[in-house]
Amino acid sequence: MHINQAGLDLIKKFEGLRLHAYQDSVGVWTIGYGHTDGVWDGQKITEDEAEAFLKTDLHLAEQAVDSMVTAPINENQFAALVSFAFNLGTNALRKSTLMRKLNAGFPKAAAEEFLKWSHAGGKLLLGLQLRRQAERALFLTP
């Protein structure tokens, strides 16, 4: 399965596009739409490069979600899980109660787990709260 337009729009909205490297809320060098692999201070990219990074990063997140989910899910649920994995990392999703509840056949209980992932560096962040609410809403959309 591949991320749908609603999921892609959600990621782009919350990641934003930055063509110059910056440190995120926990100090990780980031560029483009939340790309972190191999990013260095002072790095600059084009919009086309940002799109290419996004495509690669999304492919990795999609593969991870595909490999983890054993319960039947719809496109919106898949997109919400890809957004979560894209933002927090695939290991966070793999080890989460969200994934355990989903694979156990409790998607509504799994949806509530999104809201518990709104902290970075030990601090509650409004941007993460809003993103998790948007992911939850997408996950619950038939």
Q: Which residue has the tokens 């890809």?
A: 82
Distance of alpha carbon 2 from alpha carbon 66, whole angstroms: 9
Task: Please identify every residue annotated as catalytic.
Answer: 15
Distance of alpha carbon 57 from alpha carbon 125, whole angstroms: 23
Distance of alpha carbon 57 from alpha carbon 65, whole angstroms: 13
129, with CB counted inside 10 A (0-12, 13-18, 19+), is middle
Distance of alpha carbon 38 from alpha carbon 15, whole angstroms: 18
